[in-house]
A and B are shown apart, each in its own frame.
Chain A
Amino acid sequence: MRFYIRKLITFISTLVLVSVITFLVFQVLPGDPAQIILGVDADPQQIAALHEAMGLDRSAGERYLMWIKDTLSGDFGTSVRYHRPVADLLLERLPVTLSLALFSLGLTLIIGLPLGIYIARRDGKLSSLLLSLFTQLGVSVPSFWLAFILILLFSVTFKLFPTYGYTSWSTNPLGAIRSLFLPSLALAIPGFAVVIRYLRNTLLDQSRMDYVRTARSKGLHEKGIMYHHILRNGLIPVITIVGLLIADTLGGSIVVENVFALPGIGNLLVSSIGARDLPLVQTMVLYIAVIVVSINFIVDMLYKVIDPRIRLKR
């Protein structure tokens, strides 16, 4: 029980700090937001009125509390550019980013895990060389450049997938899969490298354990030891990388969405910066960070549920 309470306190304090960081960064912004919204030739009375409406006449502490109160009640403010509630804009964009993240995570795990297990079992010189080549390249290639290569290969040369754009799930599910496949793959390939590397290390660690020697001396065949003994223990730490992968995927999708002109959160984020729509940027940054913190929290909890041996590091 102490474990859960401590983790919960950590979770909440991290959330508070994330929101404070986000708030503070946008506080040091040069220029007067009211002036930016109303334009250069607004009269001082209008600006003063908007100051009051936006709460700019109050102290930073008060404004932070107001902002948090509004955010918690689901009021994310209004976009300067679209003149619409930020919450609505986010809800429109969220399905795209979420599908992309889940799709690529699915690809990473479905292809990466079996591949990792298969590779971890071979110890040949050539295969381990190829493996380290692939994993090193996988973490070194910029995922958005990988996206270019995939477009050149699969869209331009083989004409299998659209080069850019998004088809929504409701209009055409098959089209949605087709439009998400290449971006997901671009995000998943670095993920493969991470999964394979990690899996190989944990499986090798496990295979040196005493219980494996015991199993072997009992005369069990290697395949049985692998699947019934090593994998069972070796897969638990893999949950940790799922949390890591989700954060990576969300971070990577900011750039990759822009390569494929997918109308997701990353795309909106970058175009909002161009348009100086900073309330929108602030909310989106907080939103993504909160998702990452929450996922890490859930992963921590799951980890403990699956493996009760885990204790607080102290």
Chain B
Amino acid sequence: MQNYDIVVIGGGPAGLAAAAEAKKSGIDSILILERDHDLGGILNQCIHNGFGLHTFKEELTGPEYAQRFMDEVFDLKIEYKLNTMVMDITADKIVTAMNKTDGMFQIQAKAVILAMGCRERPRGALNIPGYRPAGIFSAGTAQRLVNIEGYMPGKEVVILGSGDIGLIMARRMTLEGAKVKVVAELMPYSGGLKRNIVQCLDDYGIPLKLSHTVVDIEGKERVTGITIAEVGPDMKPIPGTEEYYSCDTLLLSCGLLPENELSKTAGVELSPITSGPVVNDSLETNIEGIFACGNVLHVHDLVDFVSQEAANAGKNAAKYVKNGKTASTKEVKIKAACGVRYTVPCTIRPEEMDDTVTVRFRVGQVFKDSAITMYFGDEQVLKRKKQIMAPGEMEQVIIQKSKLADFPDISEITVKIETA
């Protein structure tokens, strides 16, 4: 068995930033395991621009953003293995992986950083009636086919779901000569950024139909047409509102789910809301020495926040390797209430926490002219007015250690949405 201080599972934006920060925090023995043939993860296929505005103050494309972090990993001489699939992680931090050159091998790690990212919700999870012909792709699969492999998945396209990848692919397919006929969104609001709705749909005259869903897929060998219908407040199709579109391709952009099969093998506790691990302020899971960051922890909308979060996980994993587990004196639970769906982290340790801890969360619906509030016990310590909040945009509050120290007896911090 090989030994490493830190094994990072996944070489995408989260894994790269976590490994780099762990190295800079003084840990030399680090290994990144990546299943694809290249580092950079999903950014390699996100060839559009708009990445890195927060981190680099310029708009980069996905591959350019990834390259900056890859260069850092190369400069720091961090070891990595490509084309390597991790099969199992145990609670004792034994990582089992395999690839074509080494065969199956095991590594004993002192700390593990989970950075496996997320995957798209597939057709099977959407309960769409109709035949099962060729021509139905998740938007991300189509993105990989077009941008990496150089194939066009179809000529006439209907898209279900208005997540950002779906919107980006509406534009991408149009630029490559396909006709995108309509984007249907089940919810009464889009899950994508406004900028993408304008620049990917409006620019090309592609209609977005809110409160609509696919009710039938036609075609036996290949998709020949799609029927969409309006849905009522109960999310059920309204009879009589059906519209038929002839097409050869259906793209699905219906949400992303953290990919935690490996976390489960190690016994990591998952949140039923985010489908990601439950972590404390150091991004450590319930299993000592196993940390999580990026989209495997909760799905982000900006890669800048993934990098920040991952750097934090890398720093904390390094600290754990050097100092071992600090006997935790106390944990305060962070409760999400009144419109806040979840928070990451879920608990905070007032003694061991950094001077400031960023708590990220999403709201459950669109809120206008409201306020984010935070309570230490029963006392309101923050009220920040927001003109608009939407489920598609991650929000955050910052907890200061010095301030929390003034409330030594509380057992709970609450984050809510209230009227302004």
B is bound to A: no
Instruction: Write the residues of chain A forming the contact surface with B, with a CB cutoff of 8 angstroms.
Output: none
